[in-house]
Structures are given as C-alpha cells and as structure tokens.
Amino acid sequence: MQISVESTSPIERRMTIDVPSATVESEVNKRLQKAAGSAKINGFRPGKVPMSVIRGRFEPSVRQEVVGEVMRDSYIAALQKESINPAGHPKFEPLNLKSGEDLKFVAIFEVYPEIEITNLDKISLVRESTDVSDADIDTMIETLRKQSANWETKTGPAEDGDRVIIDYKGMVDGEAFEGGTAEKQEIIIGAKRMIPGFEEGLIGLSAGDEKTLELQFPEAYHAENLKGKAAQFEVKVHTVESQQLAEINDEFFAQYGVSEGGEEAFRAEVKRNMQREGEQAIENRLKNSIVHQLIEHNEFAVPGALVNQEIDRLREDAVQRFGGGGQIQASQLPAELFKDQAEKRVKTGLIFAQIVKDQGIKATDDLVDEKITNMAASYQEPEEFIKYYKSNAEQRGQVESVVMEDLVVKHIMDNAKVEDAQVSYQEAIRKEEPAGPAAAPADSQAEAVSED
C-alpha cells in the first residue's frame, strides 16, 4: 500500500492511497466462491452453478462491497502508519476502481489543530466573593412565601400586587391585531409582564368593571408591526384576587426540608443555600471570563466536523429543554442558531485539553471524591447521591471531567493577573447574557402585549 499526504490547510489533509489489485481481487474471488456454494439459480443444482454465471450475477455488487471495505480499512491502516489523529469522518474520492488494476482513492479529512497556549499572563480576572446578609435572607424568605402563596377572591378594587382575571381585546387604528385578544387571562399587577401602562390601568377596577385602556407599544417592541403604535384595549374584569402569603411556621419550614430547630434552623438553611448559589454564580462568571480571554489570546482553526457534532448536541439539548414532545425533531432546528456557541465550546475543549496535556494535570481519586461530597451537599439525601456517583462509572467520569476543568482554571489563575473584589449577594447572582440561542416561545395568549 502506497500513501501520500498533502496538507491543504492547517487542519485539512488530503491522503492518496494506492492498494494493490491483488488485495481487492482475492477478496472478491473469495466471496464469489462462497456465493457459488449456496446460490440458488434456476436450471442449476446448488453448488454446481458455473463461476461465469456467478460472476455475471453477483460480481458488481460484491466488488462494490469489497472496495468500500478495503477503502475504509486501508484508510485506518494509513492513519496508524502516518501517526495521524483525524477529527471526524473522512470523505472518500475514488480515483481508479477498474477491475484488475490497483485501487486508488483519496481520503479528505480534518485533523486536530496544533495549539500552543500563550499569553496566560495577559489574562486579567476579577475574583469576587460574597456574604449573605440578614436582609438578603429576609428578601429570600419573602420570595419563598410568595411562591407558596394562595390567591383569595376579594370584593374591593384591584391594588398593586393583586391578581386579576380579565378578558381583553386590543385595537390598533381601529382594527384588532393578531395576539391582542385573550379570555380569562391571569395578570398580576406589578409583575411587569405586560406593556407599560397595562397593569397600572387595572388598579382600582373591581369584578364586573369594564374599561378601555389607551396605551402605546414601546419603540423597541419585538413585533415590527406594533412598534411605537397607539393602541386601545377593551378590558372586562371577571375576578380580583389578593395574595395570601404563606405563614412562617413549622409547616412552611418543612416544605424546604427543615423539620427541627424552627425559624433559626430555617434561616440557617436558607443562608447556606444562598451562599452556595452565590459562590456558584461567581465561579461560573469567572470561568466564562477565563474562556473568553483564552479564546481571544489563542486563535486557531477549528475542525468543522467537531463543530457539527457539537451543533447536534446543542440541538438535542434545545429540544429536551423546550419540551418538543416528539413534535420537533432536533435536525429541524437551523444549524446557524447554534454555530457560534458550538464553535466556542469546541475551542474551549481543545484549549483545556492542551493545557491538561502540557501541564500533566490529573484528577486524583481524592479530588473526585471531594467534589462528589460537595455536590451532594445541595441534595436532601446526600448519602444516596454520594453512593450513586461513586458506584456509577459514567457519572463518576463526568465529575472527574469537572475536577479537571477546575484544575485547569486554577492553573490559569496562578498565571493570570487576579484582582479580588467583595460584592453583595444580588451582585453575585446577577445574570449575564446567555451564551446559547433563543429563549422559549412566548405564551400564545397575551403574546402581543407581553413585554417578554
């Protein structure tokens, strides 16, 4: 077998392979002989069919099958001989498939890029830390009380914070518009889910009241045909309800896994969870900053095959996250939606892998066990979590990958410029722009007047 390799780009290779005709012909003949022993052809007894008939009937399909297998096997052998590590599957281009002549074909494929990690000293990071205050705990408890609240019908007028059940019909230039009509729609006044002025216009209305709201869509509204337009909404109120917050008692504490110790133990548990949430948010933001700067300071070509694989994973994740229910196939989602995120993920993985290789980083059993224990702390039955992750090779492998990532981050921080900063809990958990594509679709009702 003769092999020649041409580099057509930093990450693309064009490998030409010549395979002696004897390799193909001997395998074709072997399979035809086997077929002759079992072929059933009218006019001939089994095993007595002349080879000329067997060749006429079966050789084209057998030869095609053999050539495909020989190209695949020869490609793999050539990769091993040339010590080449491909990224993704090859594309085969036959150059000579004539019977009795040497098989010649080209395999076009991508390889992993050669990466030299540089400029770690140019990475500048802010390492935040946070403490949860009593006021933060009070705010969180109020949030939890609202999540467990009941709604009770009231006879008086609607106030800020009340929930109203209404019908409405929107008009622009005297015409109803798509998405501007709803029946029995629940709206919480003050939630700021509707366009400016809508919720405020419901204050003071009681069950049975009707009112026309004179409003204007924002200039930055998502629907092009409604941007900045004046609109009238005919509203009819069915029900006004007030929010009854959950009482702070043992029953309330039990909902959140605190069965002993009363309010003091509950506040301590809330603080632990908030501290963990804040630290996790800070860690994620730090990693995002590291990834962004690593990519910025280390440019290299990314194999398209790896990006396409990551796009497929992101598509599957999107279907799972948004509950496709079998109605949406992952392949139906446009690849362009996920391309930037996929490329970023692939680059990050390649950079981290190179640092692991360069620095000889390893995740010891002790570090993996410690990580599993820390992860288990957020679960109600941590012992079961620890037992499952330690006994399940796949799950343990995932934790090991996280530990490796943590060790890479530590190495980068040891070489980077790091500034420490104390932030409030609210600053710690602040949300950043999502890296992934698009949010979930809006609810069909109230779609045209919702701010979301």
Cα gap 448→227, rounded to integer Å:
11
What is residue 31's predicted lDDT score, i.e. its pLDDT?
86
**pLDDT by residue (tens digit) across 168-223?**
999 999 999 988 999 999 999 998 999 999 999 999 999 999 999 999 999 988 88
What is residue 58's predicted lDDT score, i.e. its pLDDT?
83
Cα gap 119→352, rounded to integer Å:
14
Mean per-residue pLDDT, 23-50: 80
Exposure on the CB side of residue 24, measured as CA atoms within 13 A: 28
| 167 token code pair | 């019908």
CATH of 2-110, one of 3.40.50.11810, 3.30.2090.10, 3.30.70.1050, 3.20.20.150: 3.30.70.1050
What is residue 124's predicted lDDT score, i.e. its pLDDT?
94
**pLDDT by residue (tens digit) across 352-385?**
999 999 999 999 999 999 999 988 887 878 899 9
What is the second-level CATH architecture of the domain 262-428?
Orthogonal Bundle (1.10)
What is residue 32's predicted lDDT score, i.e. its pLDDT?
87
8 Å CB contact between 30 and 19: no
Helix H or strand E encompassing 359: helix 336-359
CATH code of the domain occupying 150-244: 3.10.50.40
Q: Which amino acid is at 148?
A: S
**pLDDT by residue (tens digit) across 61-115?**
888 999 999 999 999 999 999 999 999 899 999 999 888 899 999 999 999 999 9
Closest CA relative to residue 429, chosen from 318, 291, 273 = 273
Residues contacting 58, CB < 8 A, separation 6+? 32, 35, 39
**pLDDT by residue (tens digit) across 101-145?**
999 999 999 999 999 998 888 999 999 999 999 999 999 999 999
Mean per-residue pLDDT, 373-399: 88
What is residue 1's predicted lDDT score, i.e. its pLDDT?
85
pTM summary value = 0.71
Output DSSP code: residue 151: E
Binning pLDDT at 50, 70 and 90, where does residue 326 land? low
Cα gap 438→334, rounded to integer Å:
12
In the chain, list all ranges with CATH 3.30.70.1050.
2-110
8 Å CB contact between 241 and 164: yes
Tell how strand 417-423 and strand 124-130 pair up: parallel
In the chain, list all ranges with CATH 1.10.3120.
262-428
Average pLDDT, the chain: 88
In the chain, list all ranges with CATH 3.10.50.40.
150-244
